[in-house]
Amino acid sequence: MVKLENMKNISLSDSVINLDHGDPTAYEEYWRKISDRCTVTIRGCDLMSYFSDVNNMCWFLEPELAEAIKELHAAVGNAATEDRYIVVGTGSTQLCQAAVHALSSLAGTQPVSVVAAAPYYSTYVEETTYVRSGMYKWEGDAWGFDKKGPYIELVTSPNNPDGTIRETVVNRPDDDEAKVIHDFAYYWPHYTPITRRQDHDIMLFTFSKITGHAGSRIGWALVKDKEVAKKMVEYIIVNSIGVSKESQIRAAKILKVLKETCKSETENFFEYGHVMMKNRWEKLRGMVKESNVFTLPKYPEAYCTFFGKTLGSYPAFAWLGTKEETDLVNDLRRHKVMSRAGERCGSDKKHVRVSMLCREDVFNVFLERLANMKFIKSTGL
Ligand code: PMP
């Protein structure tokens, strides 16, 4: 009888592996071990109303989730939650659009320019162009942006796709029309050292990339300004009349367990994630070094206040480059690896974004295929 493990390998050896999306299946094993402690039972009569808390401006936010979010940020020390409105969204994808809408609708003149420093998260382009809003306009790379008038800069830190720590690049400190949305999807200890408690006007977080529960579609925004928060809530009401309560209750439960175990010696999820990511990055760096063909960014070490020691960064995506004049996304495609083209991120053909959050067997196949590419290139075949 063929063992299941072998069958998996056989099928993987032929199939195209998709590392284009950042589907965070890498963490399934951890949650499997946690088992029933995250199980939520929902009866037929539960959670039926549209409303979660009529006294909250964000009336579709489940109080349990709000509590779990505040407690987790306090335990990790990565963001301030005091004196802020929490807006829950169907993923931070919806919240980013809600925030762009809110800031634009409050601006004196429109359309408001929207920019992000390249290489940027390619979904921002679709989010700001798809509905052809007259209120805002995607203006591309923030590095060369010099247009007058109101603008919104999207700052992703650590950055997707290249893992760098980012700050604003347009910088017009005295300009009331300058607005910033900070996307902190990856500002968690398994990806990067926590160096400060972030304290910006609009900060976006996603459940997807903390624990890997992308399918729940839960994100949250921490918003200082009441009018901005109100407009974001309005957007979500028009868009989806709130956010699934089932998802919020499940997210609350998992975030609570995450917080309870985050100082544990044996069950600390962040420690688990950190070790796994470090291991994958070391393997990938080893391969890249040997190849003499590929490149990867280098990240400085920093003192992590969560782990209490100096650590490196192990981003959720590898920003893989090549020293050769080639179209890397197509080269990888020929080797049955799908990745995101650098051009979609405002960069060039010589770079691609590769997800580091796939299942272990897929990651190993990726390394094998990369090794084969290196061989083909160095022998000139
Ligand atoms: N921001 C960034 C930088 C991301 O990488 C992602 C997920 N790829 C998101 C936002 C969206 O996350 P969500 O699943 O919560 O919509």
Question: What is residue 192's predicted lDDT score, i.e. its pLDDT?
Answer: 98
Per-residue DSSP letters for 71-98?
A: HHHHHHTSB--TT-EEEEEEHHHHHHHH
CB of 247 within 6 A of ligand 1: the answer is no
Map tokens 């070391």 to a residue.
Answer: 282
Q: Count of CB atoms within 10 A of residue 355's CB? A: 25
Q: How high is the mean pLDDT of the chain?
A: 94
Tell whether the torsion through CA atoms of 30, 35, 38 and 40 is positive or negative: positive
> Which pLDDT does position 10 carry in this prediction?
46
Nearby residues of 141 by Cβ (< 8 Å), 6 or more positions away = 115, 116, 117, 118, 120, 346
ipTM above 0.95, yes or no: yes
pTM of the shown model:
0.95
Neighbours of 343 (CB within 10 A): 16
What tokens were used for 79?
């963001």
Ligand 1 nearest-atom number relative to CA 316: 5
Q: What is the mean pLDDT of residues 24-29?
A: 96
Which residue's CA is the nearest one to ligand 1's atom 5? 160
Answer yes or no: is the C-beta of 355 below 6 A from any ligand 1 atom.
no
| Predicted pLDDT of residue 2 | 36
Q: What is the DSSP string of 319-338?
A: EEEESSSS-HHHHHHHTTEE
Q: E strand or H helix at 181, and its extent?
A: strand 178-183
Angle at the Cα of 157 (from 153 to 162), degrees rounded to 5?
100
- What confidence category does residue 374 fall into, taking pLDDT thresholds of 50, 70 and 90? low
Residues forming a β-bridge with 13: none
Residue 381 has pLDDT above 50, yes or no: no
22 alpha carbon – ligand 1 mean position (Å): 9
| Ligand 1 atom at minimal distance to the Cα of residue 121 | 3
**Confidence (pLDDT) at 265:** 87
Mean pLDDT of 333-347: 97
Ligand 1 probe mutation, 65, 208, 357, most atoms within 8 A of CB: 208
Per-residue pLDDT of 184-214, as tens digits, reads: 999 999 999 999 999 999 999 999 999 999 9
CA of 6 to the centre of ligand 1 (A): 34
Mean pLDDT of 88-98: 98
Whether 378 shows a pLDDT value over 80: the answer reads: no
**In this predicted model, what pLDDT tens digit does every residue of 31-81 receive, in sequence order?**
999 889 999 999 999 999 999 999 999 999 999 999 999 999 999 999 999
**What's the full length of the chain, in residues?**
381
Question: Dihedral, CA atoms, 299, 300, 302, 306, nearest 10 degrees?
Answer: 0
120-173 pLDDT, tens digit per residue, is 999 999 999 999 999 999 999 999 999 999 999 999 999 999 999 999 999 898
Q: How far is the CA of 94 from the centre of ligand 1 (A)?
A: 10
pLDDT-derived band of residue 295, with 50, 70 and 90 as boundaries? Answer: very high
Whole-number pLDDT of residue 14: 81
Per-residue pLDDT reduced to its tens digit, 73-89: 999 999 999 999 999 99
